[in-house]
A and B are shown apart, each in its own frame.
Chain A
């Protein structure tokens, strides 16, 4: 699957806009992303490994939070994940502008 990375987080993906990863579920895809780019871990997940409440992840155009299986939703290789940070003008909730 392809994961779309928003500008503020591209600092942590070697400036890549889209990262292609393998994984059968949303959670596996995100795990593969943070395995490839460890710096992403703290921006997406809490210390307990939970997806941060202010990070929105979309599977195609659906919010993963509202999918029945949530992060365990199955993902096909043609599916797209999008990470949507909260932005307020000059700021971003994912703590990545500096």
Chain B
């Protein structure tokens, strides 16, 4: 697509320093002077500066995208560094947006970094999105996925989407005028019982790099108007088989978001996904620095704090404690509780030989799997089952600081 003279004239000029810096772009006919100016004029919002957002933001900064917005409310944790290469050991404990800004400014002083140190919500998303041309969704939970999608459709901004799980990734471009949106692919989230919120699934550290860079590539293509963006296609990445496949995506004419457009404003996405308001059971990498007050009863399961459990142990009235993590996690750290992985519970019930009225406290890594296990045991007739909120991570944080966290 060739821009008109007026459009070209409106684009920002490159300084001599920038011309030297972007020389390998400038000599590519598909980018050239005008393309580089388009990049300089472009405003891209990275939602999340985690595994996907890290390489994404770094490559966009290196490529000369003029304005990069970063949305994150988290702080850098040691366990992030296995994949979130925008952060470093020297910024552990700092706000992620500050840490990312330091890296991006070091990489390219010609770009502007705009920090949004906040959780993206239905209340602020439209206001934040309106100042950007392209949104890149690098979040890690379903609530935010649907929120980003809907806000993109409502504001008419394309969404360079990527997501990962263990060894697999997906990428696409949603919410363009002609193409499908995330809801066309996944019209609705599953019932809450089937959604384990898990920092527990694990991910190969390199995989978000691979997928985040695919997102960055799509962003650049959208800005330059070149190539064939992943509109109407879902790219599946399998890093173990190292295979890449693309599937056709259709725009669903009945999609309430981008089809019939019956959804006219942002909704309550926690409710939509059937997920309780953020607590210690919150999404991945959100809960590690939360404070506990009086914890709620979640789905009929009382939530016990690590402090409460410690007090009970010290008083000599410890309940029966059950660890429902996997054996390979038990090898990393344990607090002395017997182990029955949550998936084996149905076959291992006979090991719980005590009366069903016995008080049981279940723990896992951060409190999600143990909640499921507690619900299961309750269903099986155990009448006094609690969940240890925050799991062994909270225990290591607040009770026994000598324990490793993973």
Contacts and interface: CB of A to CB of B under 8 A. Distances in A.
Contacts of A52: 190
A92 B257 CA distance: 22
A69 B284 CA distance: 39
A88 B145 contact: yes
A60 B141 CA distance: 28
A91 B343 contact: no
Contacts of A87: 163-165, 168-170
A90 B140 contact: yes
B200 A98 contact: yes
A8 B163 CA distance: 14
A7 B141 contact: no
B185 interface: yes
Q: Chain B CB within 10 Å — which of A66, A86, A94 has the most?
A: A86
Contacts of A93: 142, 186, 189-190, 194-195
A63 B236 CA distance: 14
9 contacts: A7-B165, A61-B248, A84-B247, A86-B185, A87-B168, A90-B165, A91-B195, A98-B341, A98-B342
Interface string B232-257: 00101010110001111110000000
A88 B194 contact: no
B303 interface: no
A86 B342 contact: no
Given A88-B140, A98-B200, A61 B190 contact: no
A58 B246 CA distance: 11
A98 B325 CA distance: 8
Given A7-B166, A61-B248, A66-B250, 18 more contacts: A8-B165, A54-B190, A56-B186, A58-B247, A63-B248, A63-B249, A84-B234, A86-B185, A86-B189, A89-B52, A89-B140, A89-B163, A90-B140, A93-B142, A93-B186, A93-B190, A95-B194, A98-B200
